[in-house]
Amino acid sequence: MLRVENLFLSFGAVNALYDVSLSIREGEIFSIIGPNGAGKTSLLNCISRFYVPQKGKIVFQGKDITRVPAHEIALLGIARTFQNIELFRGMTVLDNIKLGAHIHMKSGFFSGGLYWGKAQKEEIAIRKWIEEEIIDLLEIQPIRNKVVGVLPYGLQKRVEMARALAIRPKILLLDEPMAGMNLEEREDMARFILDVHDEWGVTIVLIEHDMGVVMDLSDRVAVLDFGQKIAEGTPEEIQRDPKVIKAYLGEEA
């Protein structure tokens, strides 16, 4: 479904990604792990077109998207969350989520400005879909009309995931969705990720430092270290790999 071929990304003399290749199959949960600064977020930024790699190719469903403009990525069915929450803090939960669905709206400038006829019907339909499908799925009904900026961190993470789901993605890129959460919040988020995967059939790319979560949820795992891929395989294979143990898990081989 998604193929990264020989990707190079550098910032001056620093190689963020060096000859990274990987292939993500449709319908799987694919995790990317590695120490801080290994290039994990840089890889997602290349896929979602926040960064432009100096070399290499990114192919999504047979289409080369390496030079596709960033604003067109969501239209292809690629959605993401961010390591640092990127929500509109002064807006409500529902309004933040609705922003993710704007790419599917067909009304023109004038009908949207007047909020009449087709535009009104379209927004009502989208709001109904969001409340019935996304808000119920992520269990955020009680906060849907609250301003995002007053919410606890864990709930803001959930809202950001909801906004990504409003894009109706084919593939969902999750950048440390459980960072900063307590145990109960992490368990809830793991359950939501599985629900999105199983019920919506969404392919998921997950960056996460919680090794228990990674090993429990993932079909396959890739490991980055200093911008290079050092291993790829099933969770069981990754746990036994001497290079991974030395570079990331902190144990001797």
Per-residue pLDDT of the chain (253 residues; tens, 9 = 90+): 999 999 999 999 899 999 999 999 999 999 999 988 899 999 999 999 999 999 999 999 999 999 998 889 999 999 999 988 889 999 999 999 998 888 777 665 555 555 556 777 777 888 888 988 999 999 999 999 999 999 999 999 999 999 999 999 999 999 999 988 999 999 999 999 999 999 999 999 999 988 899 999 999 999 999 999 999 999 999 999 998 888 765 555 4
Q: What is the pTM of this model?
A: 0.88
Q: Is 159 part of any domain?
A: no
Per-residue pLDDT, 253: 42
Question: CA 192 to CA 206: how far, in whole Å?
Answer: 13
Q: Is 252 part of any domain?
A: yes
Question: CA 245 to CA 3: how far, in whole Å?
Answer: 26
Measured in residues, the chain has a length of: 253
3-state secondary structure 36-100: CCCCHHHHHHHHCCCCCCCEEEEEECCEECCCCCHHHHHHHCEEECCCCCCCCCCCEHHHHHHHH
Q: Is 87 part of any domain?
A: no
Q: How many domains does the chain have?
A: 1
Number of Cβ within a 10 Å radius of residue 79: 23
Per-residue pLDDT, 27: 96
Per-residue pLDDT, 108: 55
Q: Is 151 part of any domain?
A: no
Q: Is 232 part of any domain?
A: yes
123, HSE (Cβ side, Cα atoms, 13 Å):
16
In terms of residue numbers, what domain contains 51?
A: 1-77+204-253
Q: In what order do the strands lie in the sheet with 220-225?
A: 78-80, 171-175, 203-207, 29-33, 220-225, 228-233
Question: CA 118 to CA 116: how far, in whole Å?
Answer: 6
CATH number at residue 45: 3.40.50.300
Alpha-carbon dihedral of residues 97, 79, 35, 23, nearest 10 degrees? 160
Q: Is 140 part of any domain?
A: no
Per-residue pLDDT, 71: 85
Per-residue pLDDT, 249: 56
Q: Is 197 part of any domain?
A: no
Q: Is 2 part of any domain?
A: yes
Question: CA 105 to CA 168: how far, in whole Å?
Answer: 13
Q: Report residue 238: phi and psi, to 5°.
A: -65, -40
